[in-house]
């Protein structure tokens, strides 16, 4: 079978080809992006969007928030929830928001993600609160002589600087949530974006330090929702690692479910509704992986390869599983090329029970090494050379 090989149809990204990607480069860290200490692929807006795939959820997220911040949103919801289990693209979506709001007009392919006409034209106050970096017991360093022990203490500083923190210092030090009117003061009458990520991690930490932590967190969320919903050009986006049934399955299961309950209660009392979004749907996973691993893929050649595979499968249909010769598999293969659809199915379903395997980022770790090894050895087997991984 004389088919084009992956070495002629696909061009890996330079860092994948060189095998120089570190595992931490697949670990999206929202606070490091906001504080400008993240790896280059996350810190530089141009590089970030060049290696990202514009999923339906990401485009909806950017559109809704940018409309809200620019004052063109009409009835667009002020509060958005990003759901799905760990590794489903939630933090990636939040980073995309930060870059779009801060520097979207300088990114060459921004129109693939959001209409440039609705990007904010002026400064936007941004508070990106990451529970993994919170330190309720010791205090998170804001300045050399200033610590934040709560989410609201950090939020006040990020939105309004030291003056903002001083406004709610007592709330922070005593771990008593501030009221809605006080939170509104921190917006300063300017477009404001608040991002909450890894809330479950914060809850596990704070509940060890403050006996009434869960109650105060619920009170904070209630008043935050109320303040955001009642203020023009202010948006809140938060993440929860729960499934469609609002059940969590990861290591922070209990905390995620408590956070979800607090959010649901706040929504029922303080706002009309929130907008739920899934950053990455299952059928988009191949596109996300391909965008990060490869600079280019020749899709015309891909169709030729898939046709060749189909001929081999049909010739040997008696020795193969029934779905090996199905039209559905052929279509899936064409959409996921150069990644075999059965490989993606295995990574998505078989590893779902592993709490430490964070879906997309876990796949990227494995596949980046696989691509590096394939291009380094370039095996002579024709099927391996046509597609990186085959299961039959």
Q: What is the pLDDT of residues 353-387, one digit of tens each?
A: 555 555 677 788 888 888 999 999 888 765 555 55
Which of 242, 260, 277 is where one domain is finished? 277
Residues 83, 216, single domain; the answer is yes
- Say if 36 falls within a structural domain: no
Could you tell me if residue 1 is inside a domain?
no
Q: Is residue 42 part of a domain?
A: no
Are 204 and 318 members of one domain? no
Looking at the domain assignment, is residue 362 inside a domain?
Answer: yes
In this predicted structure, which of 195-204, 217-226, 291-300, 338-347 has the lowest mean pLDDT? 338-347
pLDDT at 232: 93
pLDDT confidence of residue 314: 80
Cβ atoms of 342 and 309 closer than 8 Å: no
| The pLDDT value given to residue 311 | 83
Percent of the chain with pLDDT over 90: 42
Residues 140 and 213 in one domain: yes
Domain residue limits at 119? 56-277
The H or E element that residue 11 is part of is strand 10-12
Q: Are 134 and 202 in contact (CB under 8 A)?
A: yes
Tell whether 298 and 258 lie within a shared domain: no
Query: Given 277, 311, 328, which residue is the final one in a domain?
Result: 277
Number of domains in the chain: 2
Domain identity same for 148 and 180: yes
Quote the pLDDT of residue 99: 95
Domain boundary, last residue among 243, 277, 311: 277
Which of 37, 65, 67 is CA-nearest to residue 275?
Answer: 65
Distance CA 12, CA 364 (A): 13
Pair (172, 191) in one structural domain = yes
Same domain, 301 and 376: yes
Residue 392 — very low, low, confident or very high, per pLDDT cuts 50/70/90?
Answer: very low
| Whether residues 323 and 219 fall in one domain | no
Whether the predicted pLDDT of 138 surpasses 90: yes
For residue 293, tell me if it sits in a domain.
Answer: yes
Query: How high is the pLDDT of residue 342?
Result: 81
- Mean pLDDT score across all residues of the chain: 85
Q: What is the per-residue pLDDT for 54?
A: 93
Helical (H) or strand (E) element with 122: none
* CATH at 186: 3.40.50.300
> What average pLDDT does this structure show over 311-320?
80
pLDDT tens track for 152-200: 999 999 999 999 999 999 999 999 999 999 999 999 999 999 999 888 8
Q: Which bin fits 138, alpha (ψ -120 to 50), beta or left (φ > 0)?
A: alpha
Predicted pLDDT at 86: 45
341 belongs to a structural domain? yes
| pLDDT tens digit sequence for 321-335 | 777 778 888 888 888
Residues in a beta bridge with 147: 141
3-state secondary structure of 273: coil
Query: Considering the domain boundaries, does residue 196 fall inside one?
Result: yes
- Whether residue 334 lies inside any domain: the answer is yes
Question: What number of other Cβ atoms are within 10 A of residue 111's Cβ?
Answer: 12
State mean pLDDT over 268-272: 69
pLDDT in tens, 96-137: 999 999 999 999 999 999 999 999 999 999 999 998 889 999
Q: Are residues 139 and 170 in the same domain?
A: yes
> What is the pairing mode between strands 294-297 and 10-12?
antiparallel
Given this model, what pLDDT does residue 271 score? Answer: 65
DSSP, collapsed to helix, strand or coil, labels residue 78 as coil
Q: Residue 168 has what pLDDT?
A: 97
In terms of pTM, does the model score above 0.95?
A: no
Tell me the mean pLDDT in the region 301-307: 86
Residues 267 and 123 in one domain: yes
pLDDT digits (tens, 9 = 90+) for 34-76: 888 888 888 999 999 998 999 999 999 999 999 999 998 766 7
318/336 same-domain check: yes
In contact, 237 and 97? CB cutoff 8 Å = yes
| Dihedral angle sign, alpha carbons of residues 208, 213, 218, 223 | negative
Q: With a cut of 50, say whether residue 288 has pLDDT above it.
A: yes
**Are residue 328 and residue 271 in the same domain, yes or no?**
no
| Structure confidence at residue 344 (pLDDT) | 82
């Amino acid at each position: 079978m004389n088919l084009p090989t992956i070495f002629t149809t696909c061009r890996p990204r330079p860092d994948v080809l060189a095998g120089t990607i570190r595992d931490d480069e697949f670990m999206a860290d929202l606070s490091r992006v906001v504080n400008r200490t993240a790896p280059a692929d996350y810190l530089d807006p141009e590089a970030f969007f060049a290696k990202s795939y514009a999923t339906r959820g990401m485009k909806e997220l950017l559109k809704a928030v940018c409309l809200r911040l620019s004052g063109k949103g009409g009835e667009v919801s002020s509060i958005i929830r990003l759901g799905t289990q760990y590794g489903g693209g939630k933090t990636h979506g939040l980073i995309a928001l930060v870059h779009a709001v801060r520097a979207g007009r300088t990114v060459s392919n921004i129109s693939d993600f959001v209409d440039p006409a609705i990007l904010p034209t002026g400064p936007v106050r941004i508070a990106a609160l990451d529970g993994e970096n919170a330190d309720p017991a010791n205090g998170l360093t804001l300045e050399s002589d200033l610590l934040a022990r709560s989410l609201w203490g950090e939020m006040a500083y990020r939105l309004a600087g030291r003056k903002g923190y001083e406004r709610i210092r007592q709330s922070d030090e005593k771990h008593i949530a501030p009221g809605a009117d006080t939170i509104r003061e921190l917006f300063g009458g300017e477009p404001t974006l608040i991002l909450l990520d890894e809330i479950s991690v914060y809850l596990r930490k704070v509940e060890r330090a403050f006996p009434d932590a869960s109650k105060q967190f619920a009170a904070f969320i209630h008043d935050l929702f109320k303040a955001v919903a009642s203020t023009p050009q202010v948006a809140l986006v938060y993440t929860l690692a729960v499934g469609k049934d609002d059940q969590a399955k990861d290591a922070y299961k209990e905390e995620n479910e408590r956070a979800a309950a607090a959010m649901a209660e706040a929504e029922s009392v303080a706002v009309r509704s929130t907008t739920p979004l899934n950053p990455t749907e299952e059928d988009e996973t191949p596109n996300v992986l391909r965008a990060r691993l490869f600079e280019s893929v020749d899709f015309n050649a891909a169709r030729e390869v898939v046709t060749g595979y189909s001929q081999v499968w049909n010739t040997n249909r008696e020795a193969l599983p029934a779905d090996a010769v199905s039209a559905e598999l052929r279509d899936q293969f064409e959409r996921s090329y150069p990644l075999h659809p059965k490989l993606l199915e295995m990574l998505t379903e078989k590893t779902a029970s592993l709490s430490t395997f964070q879906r997309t980022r876990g796949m990227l770790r494995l596949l980046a090494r696989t691509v590096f090894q394939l291009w380094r050895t370039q095996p002579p087997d024709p099927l391996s050379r046509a597609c990186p991984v085959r299961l039959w």
